[in-house]
Structure 1
């Protein structure tokens, strides 16, 4: 009888030990992640913060904190981390410990001010808009790279870029400067030289072209028209620059649906009706198609353009004032019929 009790006790101990061991094995090496996804770990995140994010992906997120203590993992590394279904908690901790985060695709376009650009970027990386804007406007950075607060927007070429989610505001800005310099290839610089324009002047003209027409097919034509005017020392007479000047006076969120004759008398260096040449800086963020439209402008004899009423969104071009006046009269009549005011 004593032998049977002893044997039973031994078996029970082994069974209990096996169950405990299996449970520990499952906590460490068993399938923990229930679905694919990603977690975003802040630069100052704690293990409790990580545990909260893991709740969406694992049944027992408390095991993360327990195992991290056992593995003497003391500080999560910030970033975006991709989780795969079937990963163990040990895999998760090893991933976070390694710092092997997944890059993100960051994109932006048509941001008319640095403030709006900072807001758009803050939606995609950890840095907040205030910190980003401070980095973008940092006086020493602007001075070193020959930008002003108004011209700095031209440094940001709209596109998609690869970043780590926890990239700092300064590193984001510095990479954008590298991308800007990379964008200006020898070929583009040579084309600008042939036009007798600096790259900053190309971007300024491109910003006007961008605002003048949303139709990419028209942009080389519009660019050619403005370059004809510049060559002959005509004022550009570009309505988008008047709108920019009005918004500078009234606030960037001021909506202008129609440029009035009185607006053409605004005292501003951005008034291209009163001043010849290009305005001091860009008036908006041009995209690559607008920049390349200037560099590859269409050669023609057009000096005038007017919004088309027959093909909405496009323009009627003319090389004589008489033809332009006919186009303009037709457009003004249409405007009045639509009841469009300021």
Structure 2
């Protein structure tokens, strides 16, 4: 009677262990509640920190079984940094398998409405592991920027607004090198030829495009006409007298009405005081603005002023007399709305 009892006990333990092993390996152990869930494992993280990061997402049902499986799959020797998407219904084997193979989910990087280099660094830092300070330091490194063909004043023109996929663990240098590659791709032979036709370098196109974009941020269809005005003034060696460059030079982006005191601000970016283009862009111009400079409207306008109906469009003029009349109408409208600064 003793032997059969031992056999029965052995079979019971074997079945119980097999069932638990099956549970550990194959039973779903992730409940994301149908929410996109990502775990970030920093560069240099060890086994314990990696598993803590996974558990901190709050989607693991049985933490003990996850750790058992991680040990069984030698994850302690194969920890890889990265950003990983955790799918609902995964078992431990699937989850640890993705982590140990380093199968990262790429990050989509976009940047729009960027004015300053530090703003660009801050924006990029939200999508990759390197911090804002590290990225900004590289964006202002003279030796590195010289390799790229830029300087700290115009480096933002290297960034062409679009959507790019990178891995979260991408280093700051690899990220900027990637942006330089995208910049070179953007500047096709056709675009370069159009820049030459306007008498502008690629960087000068970006500088003028940034002014055009600052003047017309709402309606892209008007940008080629505005670009035409500034190109006409450049060809005549006239001051550009672009209000957005004054705002940029003053550094107060709350200004809605440029006053005489602002016009006196001494800065190479102030196109009321200095002829030609500023030394760098006043924002990161989008593709529409760049193409507006490369494909400007042909006309004889030398001036423009915001319309008094505040529609976002502008009144254009070929003569100063006509322009001053347009400006008076707009100033009256601003006074009526009590916009004094």
Q: TM-score range by the shorter chain?
A: over 0.9
Q: Report the counterpart of residue 28 of structure 2 in structure 1.
A: 31
Q: Report the counterpart of residue 93 of structure 1 in structure 2.
A: 96
Distance 1:104 1:23 in 2: 37
Q: CA deviation at 1:337?
A: 1.7
Q: Report the counterpart of residue 315 of structure 1 in structure 2.
A: 314
Deviation by residue 1:129-155 (Cα, 9 ceiling, x = unmatched)? 111111222221112223111111111
Q: Report the counterpart of residue 179 of structure 2 in structure 1.
A: 176
Matches within 5 A, 1:119-158: 119-158=122-161
8 Å CA contact retained: 1:52, 1:61 = no
Q: CA deviation at 1:87?
A: 2.5
Matched, 1:205 2:211: no
Alignment: residue pair count: 334
Q: Report the counterpart of residue 15 of structure 2 in structure 1.
A: 18
8 Å CA contact retained: 1:80, 1:101 = yes
Distance 2:5 2:119 in 1: 74
8 Å CA contact retained: 1:29, 1:90 = yes
8 Å CA contact retained: 1:115, 1:133 = yes
Matched, 1:291 2:294: no
* Alignment root-mean-square deviation, CA: 1.7
Distance 1:137 1:268 in 2: 20
Q: CA deviation at 1:207?
A: 0.7
2, 7, 15: which one aligns with 2:4: 7
Matched, 1:69 2:71: yes
8 Å CA contact retained: 1:51, 1:62 = no
Q: Report the counterpart of residue 250 of structure 1 in structure 2.
A: none
Q: Report the counterpart of residue 82 of structure 1 in structure 2.
A: 85
Distance 1:177 1:234 in 2: 33
Q: Report the counterpart of residue 46 of structure 1 in structure 2.
A: 46
Q: CA deviation at 1:311?
A: 4.5
Distance 2:60 2:156 in 1: 43
8 Å CA contact retained: 1:79, 1:164 = yes
8 Å CA contact retained: 2:45, 2:79 = yes
Q: CA deviation at 1:209?
A: 0.4
1:230 aligned counterpart, secondary structure = helix
TM-score (norm 2): 0.92
Q: Report the counterpart of residue 223 of structure 2 in structure 1.
A: 219
8 Å CA contact retained: 1:47, 1:65 = no
Distance 1:263 1:91 in 2: 62
Structure 1: which 5+ residue stretches go unaligned? 248-252
Q: Are residues 310 and 254 of structure 1, via their aligned partners in 2, closer, same or farther at CA, if it must alter by over 3 Å?
A: closer
Q: CA deviation at 1:254?
A: 5.6
1:105 aligned counterpart, secondary structure = strand
8 Å CA contact retained: 1:39, 1:83 = yes
Distance 1:129 1:222 in 2: 35
TM-score (norm 1): 0.92
8 Å CA contact retained: 2:247, 2:253 = no
Structure 2: which 5+ residue stretches go unaligned? none
